[in-house]
């Protein structure tokens, strides 16, 4: 994997340039100055690039000389030492550091990584003859093989090797630096060259893939806290897809910690750092889908560790997919909630009358859970039959593919139901069942029964009232006729035997009889306007008023009354009842203006509280508004019979007629200044 992440390291040696992690170089030197000339720039490059740099000294150039050489070349020398990025150690001391000598470089590299460095840059200078070299060469080779970020330079004294010896040493390294006259030359081992070429080609391929892949790719180094627990990670390399998906530019994040780049990520409900830490430390790959609260997106993540302490991730944005899934889930939840909250009993039935699905209302009526309904035969579980009953609308829907409705009485479910079955078709248009909705109409049925019973009772009561009225009208009048008739007979036949007083009293009997007959007629009229069936037809109230006025004038032709009737008052209603109403209202106006000098009676259309009202207005006796509540009550009178004759039933009758037309009536008046009666007829759309 190396190289793809641009983990090429600057050697600081211009002849060599950049090399990948896992490179071991060698130098053949003759003087201590040779060592300083090559190794100091090498170390400085490492320090600059955040690598842990270790110089293992031996023989000709010791710890002190190295320290002095570096101090001279490096202004920040003390800082690096203080930060423990730079270590100068003698070979004998270094040798006893590791418990397992073969893995000492691996251990040291890992430690460097966990301390937050990119890797380990190590120098072995003034190495002894070939024989002893294995002691430090093998651990480096083992670390390179294990994929650790290690870069090593071995410095051999030139004079200790013959030409063959030099070539043998070169073969063990990727390249060798050797001084020829006063120039440094690079000798590359043939094997290293072949391997490098192959690597280069493969790198190019991978690099292209890396650049062009649709998934985001990022390579990171994990950062551990003092307890060795993952606490952060550093971006090392990202591809453009990653930049796009995460919305962060490479140059802004490379080399930076994620807690700097995405502050708050450590508080995200997904423990990104912990998850990645596990991958980087255990080497076990991890695939997961997670929501990033910081980025507000859903990601599908594959994380793996190419070598300990490092991890790579490929990510794709699945927010759209997730939101689609969420929508689906929400739609499903909503649908189920609705389905289960409908009070109607709903079941989806297949063509074999089996329940595919039932809602809560259905299931609870059957005393089971919705799941327990599935697969049961509807006719069995609901009606207790062995086959679908004759009234079953689902059977009809299965036969003809149309909706059917039936009213079903099912004592097992405790009531009456209005059952409808709506066919369900599959995508091919085949009938696969029906939606069976049963609405409990028991209450409605009961209400209907009650209504029917009350209507019947009312009809009987009405009949009784009719026959009572008939009796009243016929039988109550007969004695009155006798009282009147015999009084008259006495007045005629025994006139000579009666004085004026006697005659007057017989006349009183006659007048009373007639008054009572009038009362009977009015009561019957009132009960009649309540009972009679309305016959609605167009009515011209203006014409009707004039015809009534004509009759009124004939009763007292001597009176001069100014009638003002608005023309064209068209409405609809029962003309007979409206005639009675207008006769009463106009009759009253006529009656109560009897003592007026200039009687004036108006009939027209006006507005009252925004509603259209008819009005009949006179300038007659009027009435005291304090008693207006009594106006429309039967037998209640605001004037004495001697002042103005009447039975006190007229306005009660009028009100009954107006109410039967869906209208309202009210009156305003003032004693001695007239009265206005307002009425509406909603029946007529007024």
Partner 1 sequence: MDNKTILIVDDNKNDVFLTQRALKKSNIANEIVVAGDGVEALDYLLGRGKYTGRDLRRMPVVTLLDLKMPRLDGLEVLKTMRENPLTKPLPVVVLTASKEEADIVESYKLGTNAYVRKPVDFLQFAEAIKHLGLFWMVLNEPPPSQFNG
Q: Is 522 in the site for partner 1 (CB under 8 A)?
A: no
Candidates 383-391, 480-488, 537-545, 644-652; binding stretch for partner 1 (CB under 8 A): 480-488
Site residues for partner 1, 546-575, by CB under 8 A, read: none
Q: Is 486 in the site for partner 1 (CB under 8 A)?
A: yes
In this structure, are residues 350 and 378 in contact, taking their beta carbons and an 8 Å threshold? no
In this structure, are residues 646 and 637 in contact, taking their beta carbons and an 8 Å threshold? yes
Element at 518 (helix H, strand E):
helix 500-531
Q: Is 498 in the site for partner 1 (CB under 8 A)?
A: no
Q: Partners of 18 in the beta sheet? A: 10
Candidates 249-257, 487-495, 625-633, 661-669; binding stretch for partner 1 (CB under 8 A): 487-495
Closer to partner 1 by CB, 487 or 588: give it. Answer: 487
Q: Is 510 in the site for partner 1 (CB under 8 A)?
A: yes
Give the shortest CB-483-to-partner 1 separation in angstroms.
8
Give the shortest CB-660-to-partner 1 separation in angstroms.
17
Q: What tokens does 263 get?
A: 């502050």
Q: For residue 140, give Cα distances in angstroms to 10, 104, 144, 147, 653.
A: 19, 8, 6, 11, 122
In this structure, are residues 207 and 45 in contact, taking their beta carbons and an 8 Å threshold? no
In this structure, are residues 313 and 337 in contact, taking their beta carbons and an 8 Å threshold? no
Q: Is 270 in the site for partner 1 (CB under 8 A)?
A: no
DSSP tag of 534: P
Give the shortest CB-480-to-partner 1 separation in angstroms.
5
Closer to partner 1 by CB, 49 or 521: give it. Answer: 521
DSSP tag of 401: S
Candidates 111-119, 478-486, 543-551, 650-658; binding stretch for partner 1 (CB under 8 A): 478-486
Count of residues binding partner 1 (CB under 8 A)? 21
In this structure, are residues 382 and 412 in contact, taking their beta carbons and an 8 Å threshold? yes
Q: Is 513 in the site for partner 1 (CB under 8 A)?
A: yes
Closer to partner 1 by CB, 228 or 479: give it. Answer: 479
Among 34, 108, 317, 484, indicate the residue that binds partner 1 (CB under 8 A): 484
Crossing angle of helices 500-531/575-592, nearest 10°? 140
Q: Partners of 89 in the beta sheet? A: 56
In this structure, are residues 221 and 118 in contact, taking their beta carbons and an 8 Å threshold? yes
Give the shortest CB-466-to-partner 1 separation in angstroms.
9
The CA distance from 34 to 40, in Å, is 10
Among 95, 439, 477, 503, indicate the residue that binds partner 1 (CB under 8 A): 477
Among 461, 489, 564, 671, indicate the residue that binds partner 1 (CB under 8 A): 489
Q: Is 478 in the site for partner 1 (CB under 8 A)?
A: yes
Among 135, 187, 406, 480, indicate the residue that binds partner 1 (CB under 8 A): 480
Locate all alpha helices (DSSP H) within 115-189, ordered by sequence.
Answer: 130-145, 163-171
Give me the half-sphere count of Cα atoms (radius 13 Å) on the Cβ side of residue 375: 3
Candidates 416-424, 475-483, 581-589, 619-627; binding stretch for partner 1 (CB under 8 A): 475-483
Closer to partner 1 by CB, 62 or 502: give it. Answer: 502
Closer to partner 1 by CB, 50 or 473: give it. Answer: 473
Q: Is 485 in the site for partner 1 (CB under 8 A)?
A: yes
Closer to partner 1 by CB, 206 or 480: give it. Answer: 480
Among 145, 321, 324, 481, indicate the residue that binds partner 1 (CB under 8 A): 481
Closer to partner 1 by CB, 487 or 619: give it. Answer: 487
- Closest by CA to 91, choosing from 65, 54, 44, is 54
Q: Is 296 in the site for partner 1 (CB under 8 A)?
A: no
Among 475, 496, 533, 642, indicate the residue that binds partner 1 (CB under 8 A): 475
Q: Is 473 in the site for partner 1 (CB under 8 A)?
A: yes
Q: Is 50 in the site for partner 1 (CB under 8 A)?
A: no
Give the shortest CB-556-to-partner 1 separation in angstroms.
19
Give the shortest CB-685-to-partner 1 separation in angstroms.
28
Closer to partner 1 by CB, 330 or 471: give it. Answer: 471
Closer to partner 1 by CB, 291 or 486: give it. Answer: 486
Give the sheet arrangement for strand 175-180, strand by strand.
86-90, 52-57, 120-124, 150-157, 23-29, 175-180, 183-188
Closer to partner 1 by CB, 48 or 477: give it. Answer: 477
Q: What tokens does 94 get?
A: 């270094």
Closer to partner 1 by CB, 86 or 523: give it. Answer: 523
Closer to partner 1 by CB, 52 or 649: give it. Answer: 649
In this structure, are residues 533 and 496 in contact, taking their beta carbons and an 8 Å threshold? no
Closer to partner 1 by CB, 460 or 489: give it. Answer: 489
Q: Using CB atoms within 10 A of its CB, is residue 586 exposed (0-12), middle (13-18) or buried (19+)? A: buried
Give the sheet arrangement for strand 355-358, strand by strand.
355-358, 345-350, 431-440, 415-425, 404-410
Candidates 94-102, 486-494, 612-620, 653-661; binding stretch for partner 1 (CB under 8 A): 486-494
Q: What Rg, from alpha-carbon coordinates, does the chain have?
A: 57
- Closest by CA to 261, choosing from 273, 278, 277, is 273
* Phi-psi region at 679: left, alpha or beta (left = phi > 0; alpha = psi -120 to 50): beta
The CA distance from 350 to 373, in Å, is 13
Q: Is 495 in the site for partner 1 (CB under 8 A)?
A: no
Strand pairing class (345-350; 310-317) = unpaired
Closer to partner 1 by CB, 213 or 509: give it. Answer: 509
The CA distance from 482 to 493, in Å, is 16
Site residues for partner 1, 297-316, by CB under 8 A, read: none
Q: Is 470 in the site for partner 1 (CB under 8 A)?
A: yes
Query: What three-state secondary structure class fits 545?
Result: helix
Contact footprint for partner 1 (CB under 8 A): 469-470, 473-475, 477-478, 480-482, 484-489, 510, 513-514, 517, 521
């Amino acid at each position: 994997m190396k190289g793809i992440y641009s983990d090429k390291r600057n050697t600081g040696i211009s002849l060599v340039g950049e090399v990948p992690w896992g490179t071991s170089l060698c130098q053949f030197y003759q003087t201590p100055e040779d060592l300083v000339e090559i190794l100091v720039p090498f170390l400085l490059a490492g320090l600059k690039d955040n690598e842990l740099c270790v110089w293992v000294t031996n023989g000709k150039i010791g710890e002190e000389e190295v320290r002095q050489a570096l101090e001279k070349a490096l202004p920040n020398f003390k800082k690096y030492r203080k930060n423990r990025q730079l270590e100068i150690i003698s070979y004998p001391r270094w040798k006893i550091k590791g418990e397992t000598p073969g893995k000492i470089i691996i251990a040291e590299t890992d430690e460097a990584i966990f301390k937050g460095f990119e890797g380990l840059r190590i120098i072995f200078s003034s190495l002894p003859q070939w024989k002893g070299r294995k002691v430090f060469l093998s651990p480096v080779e083992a670390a390179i093989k294990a994929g650790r970020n290690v870069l090593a330079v071995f410095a051999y004294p030139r004079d200790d090797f013959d030409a063959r010896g030099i070539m043998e040493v070169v073969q063990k390294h990727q390249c060798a630096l050797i001084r020829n006259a006063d120039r440094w030359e690079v000798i590359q081992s043939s094997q290293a060259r072949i391997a490098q070429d192959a690597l280069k080609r493969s790198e190019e391929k991978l690099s292209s893939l890396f650049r062009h892949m649709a998934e985001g790719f990022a390579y990171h180094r994990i950062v551990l806290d003092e307890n060795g627990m993952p606490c952060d990670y550093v971006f090392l390399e990202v591809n453009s897809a990653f930049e796009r998906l995460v919305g962060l530019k490479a140059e802004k994040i490379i080399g930076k910690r994620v807690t700097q780049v995405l502050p708050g990520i450590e508080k995200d409900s997904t423990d990104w750092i912990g998850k990645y830490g596990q991958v980087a430390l255990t080497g076990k790959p991890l695939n997961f889908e997670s929501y990033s609260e910081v980025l507000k997106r859903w990601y599908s993540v594959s994380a793996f560790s190419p070598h300990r302490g490092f991890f790579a991730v490929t990510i794709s944005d699945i927010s759209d997919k997730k939101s689609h899934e969420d929508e689906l889930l929400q739609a499903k939840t909503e649908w189920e909630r609705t389905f289960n909250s409908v009070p109607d009993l709903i079941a989806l039935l297949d063509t074999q009358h089996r329940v595919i699905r039932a809602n809560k209302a259905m299931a609870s009526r059957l005393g089971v859970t919705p799941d327990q309904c599935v697969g049961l035969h509807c006719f069995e579980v609901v009606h207790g039959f062995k086959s679908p009953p004759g009234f079953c609308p689902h059977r009809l829907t299965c036969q003809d593919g149309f909706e059917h409705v039936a009213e079903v009485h099912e004592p097992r479910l405790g009531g009456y139901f209005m059952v409808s079955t709506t066919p369900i078709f599959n995508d091919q248009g085949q009938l696969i069942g029906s939606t069976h909705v049963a609405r409990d109409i028991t209450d409605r049925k009961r209400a209907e029964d009650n209504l029917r019973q009350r209507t019947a009772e009312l009809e009987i009561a009405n009949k009784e009232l009719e026959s009572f009225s008939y009796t009243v009208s016929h039988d109550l009048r007969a004695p009155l006729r006798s009282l009147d008739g015999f009084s008259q007979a006495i007045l005629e036949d025994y006139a000579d035997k009666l004085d004026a007083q006697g005659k007057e009293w017989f006349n009183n009997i006659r007048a009373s009889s007639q008054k009572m007959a009038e009362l009977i007629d009015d009561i019957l009229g009132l009960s009649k306007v309540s009972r009679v069936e309305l016959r609605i037809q167009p009515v011209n109230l203006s014409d009707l008023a004039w015809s009534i006025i004509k009759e009124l004038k004939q009763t007292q032709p001597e009176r001069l009354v100014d009638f003002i009737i608005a023309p064209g008052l068209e409405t609809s209603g029962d003309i007979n009842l409206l005639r009675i109403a207008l006769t009463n209202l106009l009759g009253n106006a006529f009656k109560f203006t009897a003592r007026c000098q200039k009687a004036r009676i108006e009939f027209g259309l006006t507005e009252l509280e925004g509603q259209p009202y008819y009005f009949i207005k006179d300038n007659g006796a009027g009435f005291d508004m304090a008693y207006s509540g009594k106006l429309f009550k039967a037998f209640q009178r605001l004037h004495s019979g001697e002042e103005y004759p009447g039975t006190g039933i007229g306005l009660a009758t009028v009100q009954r007629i107006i109410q039967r037309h869906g209208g309202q009536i009210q009156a305003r008046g003032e004693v001695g200044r007239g009265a206005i009666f307002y009425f509406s007829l909603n029946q007529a759309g007024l």
